[in-house]
């Protein structure tokens, strides 16, 4: 491979890196307040479908993304209402919402577009070269000649890191996910924190979904996420629920994804199905080894009830 191929490859990695980042960082944000939401795959699908339909209707990717984020936020609201306020099992509610999102994505598409062989297409995202910076050799084309979501995903990862570890809001948010009773005893509003994190997190997940038709296919197809929601959930897990390690993990994931596609194009003789399974197999392997060093938020998956008495 020559240099151009390598920069081209890394450029593609960043392109496919976006949905993992948005979905995983969104999952992480809710997780840091103790909520383990497994509805990602469904919320991404709903975001992809509705985002696409709205973008097509208004001929605006911006409005489309906004709609996808609204849909995601709605899912987050329902999720946290059922778990934080009604105290229902987080996993079961997440699963139910996964189903709803999955069905909603196809339903909305069929109701609006109908069953057709030639679905409408939207323009896919354009590259926005950053003046001057994009001219830097090697780094320029990789980092500074991408679509806006790539820039956003980089910014988001930095921002979440800064927010969680360098601000006192971040400290409070993490305290809620580690020991809500301690946070509560210091006057932090546990419920409000959980609502905010779940809703904003799910908005990011919805946005991750909307990116797929906008960056790749130009249209929505059933099951367009191909398990990226679940992979993102896994990534959040072995990324240790930290923005910076998730960032690295997402790079790794997208590199595997792009590599698999590349090898397929090269007609290496390896059946392409084998390559398609690579991300999942590698994820399983990483989960085996990751479980040893990863620390999960202390209160992950549990619901907090102030008046619950310790038993004994």
Partner 1 sequence: MAENYLLEMENIDKTFGTTKALDGVNLQIKRGEIHGLLGGNGAGKTTLMNVLYGLYKNDSGTIKINGEAVRILSPKNAIDHGIGMVHQQFLQVTNFTVAENIVIGTKPKSYPLMNLDEEIKTILALADRFGLPVTPTATISDLPLGVRQRVEIIKALYRGVKILVLDEPTTNLTPQEVDALFSSLRLMVNEGLSVIFITHKLREVLEVCDRISVLRHGKNVLTMDRADASEEAFVKAMVGEDLNVENSILYADQGLNEKLSNIGEEIVLEVKNLTVGMDEVPVVKDVSFSLRKGEILGVAGISGNGQLELLEAILGLRDIKEGTISLAGEEITNLETHKLLQRSISYVPEDRWQDGLLSLATVEQNLILGLHRQEPYSDGRLLKRSSITEKATALIDTFNIKTEGPHDTAGNLSGGNIQRLLLARSFSQAVDLILLHNPTRGLDIPSIESIYSLILERKDLGMATLLVSENLDELFLMSNHLIVFCNGEIMGRLKRSEFDKYSVGSMMSGIRQGEE
Partner 2 sequence: MKKTRAFKPSTLGKQILPYLLAVLAAFIAAGIFLWLMGFNVLQAYQTILFTSFKSRNGFIQTLLKFIPLVLTALAFTIPMKASKFNIGSEGQLIFGAIGATATGIMFADLPALALIPLILFVGMICGALWALIPAWLLYRFNVSEILSTVLMNFISFSVLDYIATEVWRDPLAGHPTTIPISESGRLPLLVSSPPLHSGLLIVILVAVLVYIYTDYTSAGYELVATGANPKAAKVFGINTKILFLLALVLGGSMAGLAGAIEVAGKHHRLIEGMQSNFMALGIIIGLLSKGNHGVVPFVAFFIAMLEVGANAMQRTMAIPIEMVFIVEALILIFTLLSDTRKK
Q: Do 301 and 180 form a contact (C-beta atoms < 8 A)?
A: no
With CA atoms as reference, report the closest residue to 237 among 156, 177, 176, 293.
Answer: 293
Q: Report the site for partner 1 in 164-183 (rule: CB under 8 A).
A: 165-172, 174-175, 178-179, 181-183
Regarding 74 and contact with partner 1 (CB under 8 A), the answer is: no
Token pair listed for 178: 């580690």
Q: How far is the CB of 174 from partner 1 (least distance, A)?
A: 7
Regarding 274 and contact with partner 2 (CB under 8 A), the answer is: yes
Cα separation, 249 vs 97, in Å, equals: 26
Regarding 88 and contact with partner 2 (CB under 8 A), the answer is: yes
> Which residues are within 8 A (CB) of 254 and not within 5 positions of it... i.e. 6 or more apart?
13, 14, 15, 16, 17, 20
Q: Do 24 and 236 form a contact (C-beta atoms < 8 A)?
A: yes
Cα separation, 190 vs 174, in Å, equals: 11
Regarding 192 and contact with partner 1 (CB under 8 A), the answer is: no
Cα separation, 304 vs 282, in Å, equals: 35
Burial 132-155 (b: 16+ CB within 10 A, else e): eebeeeeebbbbbbbbebbbbbbe
Site string for partner 1, 128-167 (x = CB under 8 A): -------------------------------------xxx
Which does residue 312 bind out of partner 2, partner 1, none, counting CB within 5 to 8 angstroms by kind? partner 1
Which does residue 118 bind out of partner 1, partner 2, none, counting CB within 5 to 8 angstroms by kind? none
- Please say whether the dihedral angle defined by the alpha carbons of residues 243, 249, 254 and 255, taken in this order, is positive or negative: positive
- Among residues 99 and 162, whose Cβ is nearest to partner 1? 162
Which does residue 170 bind out of partner 2, partner 1, none, counting CB within 5 to 8 angstroms by kind? partner 1
Count of positions on this chain that bind partner 1 (CB under 8 A): 29
Q: Report the site for partner 1 in 250-309 (rule: CB under 8 A).
A: 295, 298, 306-307, 309
Which spans of this chain sit near partner 2 (rule: CB under 8 A)? 38, 82, 86-89, 91-93, 95-96, 99-100, 102-104, 106-107, 110-111, 226-227, 230-231, 233-234, 237, 271, 273-274, 276-277, 280-281, 283-284, 287-288, 291
């Amino acid at each position: 491979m020559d240099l151009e191929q390598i920069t081209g490859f890394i450029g593609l990695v960043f392109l496919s890196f976006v949905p993992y980042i948005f979905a995983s960082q969104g999952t992480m944000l809710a997780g840091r307040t103790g909520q383990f939401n497994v509805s990602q795959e469904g919320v991404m699908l709903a975001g992809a479908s509705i985002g696409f339909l709205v973008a097509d209707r208004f001929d605006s990717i911006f409005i489309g993304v906004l709609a996808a984020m609204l849909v995601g936020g709605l899912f987050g609201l329902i999720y946290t209402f059922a778990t934080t306020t009604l105290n229902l099992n987080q996993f079961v509610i997440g699963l139910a919402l996964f189903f709803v999102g999955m069905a909603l994505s196809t339903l909305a598409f069929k109701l609006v577009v109908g069953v057709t062989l030639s679905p409408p297409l939207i323009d896919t995202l354009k590259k926005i070269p950053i003046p001057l910076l994009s001219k830097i050799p090697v780094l320029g084309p990789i980092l500074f000649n991408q679509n806006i979501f790539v820039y956003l995903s980089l910014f988001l990862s930095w921002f979440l890191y800064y927010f969680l570890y360098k601000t006192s809001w971040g400290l409070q948010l993490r305290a809620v996910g580690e020991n809500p009773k301690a946070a509560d005893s210091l006057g932090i509003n546990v419920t409000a924190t959980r609502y905010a994190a779940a809703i904003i997190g799910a908005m990011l997940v919805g946005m991750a979904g909307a990116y797929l038709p906008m960056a790749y296919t130009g249209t929505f197809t059933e099951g367009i996420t191909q398990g990226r929601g679940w992979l993102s959930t896994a990534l959040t897990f072995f990324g240790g629920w930290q923005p910076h390690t998730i960032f690295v993990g997402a790079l790794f994931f997208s590199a595997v994804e792009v590599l698999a596609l590349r090898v397929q194009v090269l007609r290496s003789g390896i059946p392409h199905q084998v390559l398609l399974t690579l991300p999942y197999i590698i994820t399983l392997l990483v989960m085996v080894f990751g479980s040893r060093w990863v620390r999960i938020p202390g209160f992950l998956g549990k619901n907090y009830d102030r008046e619950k008495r310790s038993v004994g």
